[in-house]
Amino acid sequence: MRLLQVMAGAEHGGAETFFVSLALALARAGLEQRVAIRRNPARAAALRAGGLEPLELRFGGPLDRLTPWRLKRLAAAFRPDIVLCWMSRAAAVMPSGPWLKLARIGGYYDLKYFRSCDQLLCITPQLVERYAALGWPRERLHFMPNFSTFEDEPAVPRSAFGTPEGAPLLLSLGRLHPAKALDTLLHALAREPRAHLWLAGEGPSRGELESLSAELGLTERVRFLGWRSDKTALLKACDLCVFPSRSEAFGSVIVEAWAHRRPLVAAAADGPKAFVEDGRTGLLVPIDDVGALAGAITRLIDEPALAASLVEAGYRRYREEFTESACVARYLGLFERLLAEAPPRRAGRS
């Protein structure tokens, strides 16, 4: 089996991070593959470190004729059985051919971008239902969740960011974007004076969030870390993982918190609401409810037994469904089944 993966995503983002994780995991499993990415030195270096040499392309707008031509040339030379396109831009740009064309979807996109695809791989059951309701054949929709991995690295020292050793430390991972509701988190932090917060991410809202932090008098308790690749080191350092998003189809942070045995507070967006069992694997609060978010944070600081029970239940859920081995087996099983069911022109390389 040969797989070509195509990622045309942004400089930073959860899907972009998981693309690298999946590509390297499939390589470790022995799958023969090639990868094509939008030019990104850090992403390319991570792939090379795992033994994959990426083809770096522009992935520009409608006037970019070179990218589709180079993708078609790569596919003709490699002769993949399956092409896995990540999100809308890759699906729209990647030519069709004598291979199965799959799209991996982690959000709410217009189906027009995927008309040339044979199958859609959705990261939540809710996305499966959404695209079925929009008219995509249900038999060509598949739930394929993300996984989390551990890195062999020590915790980031709190002293590196001027954070007191004894203070409750909150961590939020993700883009600094309005959809992530980090403004709500800052307002909640203002109501819990014992806690400190690390924001690990980058994005268009950084300036506004820095201004809000100063306005609320939180400058000494909030640290903007920028985009980080050392998630394990950050999670080892924190006491509590907070995920306040207004809109979230899945939210890999959920799995990261479970896998790294950290208690989780999340707003009840679609993804967290679908996966987190309130009071068992995490605490769910209404979206944009400052009081409820602050109350949940305070509760976990004051009730260590509750925090410990959330950690244990979340870790069990991770071990059952969201390990690398479980997800890789799921991907390989799906690929094999789709190839076995495909028409002759698709099932083999010509």
My answer on whether 162 and 305 are in the same domain is yes
**Residue 349: its pLDDT value, please?**
46
Question: What is the C-alpha separation between 73 and 96, in angstroms, rounded?
Answer: 12
Please count the structural domains in the chain: 2
SS3 86: strand
My answer on whether 176 and 90 are in the same domain is no
My answer on whether 225 and 338 are in the same domain is no
Per-residue pLDDT tens digits for 249-283: 787 899 999 999 999 999 999 889 989 999 999 99
My answer on whether 299 and 264 are in the same domain is yes
**Residue 348: its pLDDT value, please?**
44
My answer on whether 22 and 136 are in the same domain is yes
My answer on whether 259 and 120 are in the same domain is no
Query: 122 lies in which domain range?
Result: 2-147+323-347
Pair of tokens at residue 151:
């890195």
CATH of the domain at 194: 3.40.50.2000
- Residue at 274 is within a domain: yes
SS3 332: helix
Per-residue pLDDT tens digits for 48-71: 999 999 999 999 877 888 999 999
My answer on whether 267 and 327 are in the same domain is no
- Whole-model pTM: value is 0.82
- Residue at 152 is within a domain: no
Pair of tokens at residue 63:
């006037």
Cβ atoms < 10 Å from Cβ of 254: 27
My answer on whether 18 and 48 are in the same domain is yes
> Are the C-beta atoms of 120 and 135 separated by less than 8 Å?
no
My answer on whether 239 and 188 are in the same domain is yes
- Residue at 153 is within a domain: no
My answer on whether 171 and 311 are in the same domain is yes
My answer on whether 269 and 166 are in the same domain is yes
SS3 326: helix
**Residue 345: its pLDDT value, please?**
56
My answer on whether 226 and 120 are in the same domain is no
**Percent residues over pLDDT 90 in the chain:** 85
Residue indicated by tokens 């907070």: 242
- Residue at 252 is within a domain: yes
- Residue at 36 is within a domain: yes
